[in-house]
A and B are shown apart, each in its own frame.
Chain A
Amino acid sequence: MTIYLKMLIYILSFLSLSLFLALIIFHLRLKYYENKEQLYKEKYSSIIESYIDSEINLEKTISYFENENNYKILKNIFKPYINKYENEKHDRLKILINKIGLNNYLYEKLKSNNKKKTLKAASFLGKLQDRNALNKLEKLLRSNDRLKVITSAWAISEIGDLSYLKPVIKTLLNKSEMTYEAITELLVNFGKNICDKLIDYLNKDLKEDDYLVNEFETDEYKILSVFIDIFGFYRYEKSLKVLEKLLIENTNEEVTIHIFKALVKIGQPVNVNLKQFLQSESWVIRSQSAKYIGVIGAEEHTQTLSYLLYDENWWVGYYAAQSLWKMDKTELMKNIIKHDNPGAEMCSYVLAKNNYVFNLEGS
């Protein structure tokens, strides 16, 4: 027993000492690497910045990188610039990065069996909007690994090739737990052109039963919710006709809520009787439609809004009061407060929130 225990103590002592040494070696190694990266930054930052600002041309810039092959560090140096710049400057950077061979390095890493390397390469190639990576990225999209799926979907969306839109949407709706907000945030990377493509899908769906369900292999309300959120993000006025049709024909509450949220952003009227939505059984639909009324200034609903001021749900009352405020119905609100009519408390709250100071005798 004693011998075994002594052996255990020796082993534990040895392990503790090894851990301590590993800790110190790791610490020093990281410090060394950090210093090295700092030196690279000092060496190349001013060159990259001059190139971005067109102070030196491409050939000259490439000559500075001629004998450089530490692509791992170069990737870290270029990353903040790629994240920071857009349009022309971003395009200039893409050309430089390709010419110095960083893209080829990333293609190799993308093929790697090491998940970490593959994902980092996929993410960076997405930022470089490199179409040559699309085939490999699509393969990653078909993976069962959730992080691989989301990373490749992000990269594909950043490259922005709409021919990959369908597999991306299909995968995200079927293979991830992302919320609508997260899926929409990813899909808008494709750019505003995505809206026309989505309108095409919706028009086909209106002609052919279950078209969307068959194409995307998931519930229709999920697909519609995402599409509508994207229209809202881009304030896409061309979608108004489709949204109108959906408001009339669709019966799914969730879709109706997404439609009103999008309409609030688009800020244009639709040719639909909105009163039915203000009287909906769902408090979310009542609140969102009340909000929309204020955005488009539909004064014909003033009376309904004044009833909604004392709705059983606080948010419905709040948006009704906000809409009355937006439609410049302050006299009506003051009157409600003055006579202590139902909704007076909400009117006082919203007027105070908008820093509207008044006394009940005068103005």
Chain B
Amino acid sequence: MLRSTLLTIDYIAIIYFIIINITYIFLNFIAFFSIRKNQLKEEVLDIEKRFSSEFYKPLSIIVPAYNEQETITENLNSILKLEYPEFEIIVVNDGSTDNTMEKLIEDFNLTTFNKNYSEDIETKNIKNIYKSTSHPELFIIDKENGGKGDALNAGVNLSDYPLVCNIDADSIIDSKALLSIVVPFVNDWRVVAAGGTVRIANSSKIQDGKVKEVKLSNKYLVRMQVIEYLRAFLFGRVGWAGINSLLIISGAFGVFKKKHLIKAGGYNTNTVGEDMELVLRLNRKMNKNNRKYKIVFLPEPVCWTQVPEKLSSLKSQRKRWHQGLGESLLYNFEMFFNPNYGTSGLIAFPFYFFIELLGPIIEIFGYSAIILTILLEFDGNNVVLLFLVSSILLGVLLSLTSLLFEEMTFRKYKKTKDVIILSFYAILENFGYKQLNSIWRFIGLYKLITRNEEWGYQERSSFNVEE
């Protein structure tokens, strides 16, 4: 009885590993061709040279901030240096309990200001609105704490322009990234939202608020995340976008047409995954209104972020992400296997539900069952072991594929030594890191069921800034 139960779990887990790896290899290939096409487009249409004229759409940048006193000035200075013809920056202090607001008032010469606050989306109470006397394009909302979604909604209410861009207060945006991310809105009227890529900046050289040199961190945990970001968050998402099934735009860097964002009801304040939830809801609303629309993901406009360097921070981040994933899917469950949503409803949503959301259950039980089967030396343990090796090798193959595609497209890591180190980590992540991730995601799933919410504070080390 025990033997047959264990073997059943073994095989379910192994089939799951094979499905997830093959899907991602497939997505990586779609992404590769999609990126090459995009790069060709950028080259022949000379996007860098364009938009020096008046054909841009003005943009409101919304920066939600909660307890960011250590980094807010440095990061805002970086955002103020972005290259874009006309934009405003709205920082939303979401009831910080530290000195974020005092720091902003002091460093940016703020005075209270009577700017139009539209109340298109309901939010927590606004305490005050400020404008900077040193930077006329900078506005600050000081409001009661309501969570990241609520802070973003307050920013949308205050914004003046037809496009709104959300940027995390602790991220660095490439100086031309705004220009690139707005191009699809001009080139194709169907585009309602566009997401940019988030990359890892730990140890990279930062100068004048810009990433001057991409360096590979020497920390084990960061290197693992570099591989993971390439595989899942870069090529994975470009791949989904390539088959018109993108279900998430990162909260760290995305642009939306304001009117559609408001029509969809703004960000959901009852989830920690407000970024994914919004994209899913946009899909639903657009579909219901029978409007032709496109949600695009651009691999080139890059937002740089600091990833956790400590296990405790990473654990908390992953739990929160998984909880957010679950909430977003459940709020929009109408899309599940719904042919009205095309490949998003028939392929992407079920994949996210069964493989991404419920995956940790299969992984935890699977790993335990495989170890027990081998330790107890049941009949057939040989086959299980071979299956396990195959699925691990498939994982290695997937990570190496992502690395090769990165080399063939963006080449952010220039040193040969870095490429070799990353190849080594593509193998190493299969032994320990992936399993730890499964445990954290499993806890996130538990939190989803117990509805435990938090703003998601992440302890960060400062960027590697050079004066």
Contact = CB atoms under 8 A, between A and B. Distances in A.
Nearest to A345: B114
B419 A24 contact: yes
B394 A177 contact: no
Contacts of B423: 20, 23-24
Contact of A5 (B40, B43, B50, B387): B387
Interface string A1-14: 11001101100110
B contacts with A: majority SS: helix
Nearest to B408: A26
Contacts of A345: 114
Contacts of A314: 116, 118
Interface string B35-63: 00100110111100110011101000000
A20 B403 CA distance: 9
Q: How large is the interface on A (under 10, 10 to 19, 20 to 34, 35 or more residues)?
A: 35 or more
A83 interface: yes
Contacts of A348: 114
Contacts, number: 112
Contact of A19 (B40, B382, B400, B416): B400
A15 interface: yes
A154 B186 CA distance: 15
B431 interface: no
A22 B189 CA distance: 40
A267 to B, nearest CB: 14
Contact of A31 (B114, B190, B416): B416
Given A27-B416, A116-B40, A182 B386 contact: no
A9 B401 contact: no
Contacts of B45: 123, 150-151, 154
A177 B400 contact: no
A120 B115 CA distance: 48
Nearest to B53: A185
Contacts of B394: 12
Contacts of A2: 382-383, 386
Contact of A12 (B44, B383, B390, B408): B390
B32 to A, nearest CB: 13
Interface in B4-60: 37, 40-41, 43-46, 49-50, 53-55, 57
Interface in A177-192: 177-179, 181-182, 184-185, 188
Nearest to A26: B407
A349 interface: yes
Contacts of B411: 30
Interface string B358-394: 0000000000000000000000001100110110011
B188 interface: yes
Main secondary structure of the interface of A (DSSP, over half): helix
B187 A16 contact: no
A182 B390 contact: no
B186 A181 contact: yes
Contacts of A290: none
A352 B133 CA distance: 11
A349 B419 CA distance: 55
A28 B41 CA distance: 26
B26 to A, nearest CB: 15
B111 to A, nearest CB: 9
A349 B116 contact: yes
Given A23-B400, A26-B408, A30-B407, A352 B57 contact: no
A122 interface: yes
B420 interface: yes
A23 B114 contact: no
A197 to B, nearest CB: 20
| Residue of B57, B382, B393 with most chain A CB atoms under a 10 A cut-off | B393
A236 to B, nearest CB: 15
A181 B55 contact: yes
A147 interface: yes
A15 B400 CA distance: 10
Contact of A28 (B188, B386, B416): B416
A188 B53 CA distance: 11
A359 to B, nearest CB: 15
A318 interface: yes
A119 interface: yes
Contacts of A30: 407, 411
A233 B54 contact: yes
Contacts of B115: 349
A89 B169 CA distance: 44
A123 B416 CA distance: 33
A23 B403 contact: yes
B43 A123 contact: yes
A8 B404 CA distance: 22
B396 interface: yes
A147 B55 contact: no
A24 B44 contact: no
A155 to B, nearest CB: 9
B331 interface: no
Contacts of B396: 12, 16
A124 B404 CA distance: 29
B432 to A, nearest CB: 19
A23 B401 CA distance: 9
A342 B118 CA distance: 17
B392 to A, nearest CB: 9
A23 B393 contact: no
Interface string A217-256: 0000000000000000100000000000000000000000
Contact of B397 (A19, A182, A185): A19
Contacts of A119: 40, 44
B446 interface: no
A9 B387 CA distance: 9
Interface string B400-415: 1101100110010000
Contacts of A12: 390, 393-394, 396-397
B354 interface: no
B46 A83 contact: yes
B457 interface: no
B113 interface: yes
A156 to B, nearest CB: 13
A318 B116 contact: yes
Contacts of B408: 26
A5 B386 contact: yes
Given A12-B394, A31-B416, A123 B400 contact: no
15 contacts: A9-B386, A12-B394, A15-B397, A23-B400, A23-B404, A24-B416, A24-B423, A28-B416, A119-B40, A123-B45, A147-B37, A147-B40, A177-B188, A182-B55, A233-B53
Given A24-B416, A120-B44, A123-B46, 11 more contacts: A6-B386, A23-B400, A23-B407, A24-B423, A147-B44, A178-B189, A179-B187, A181-B55, A185-B53, A233-B53, A348-B114
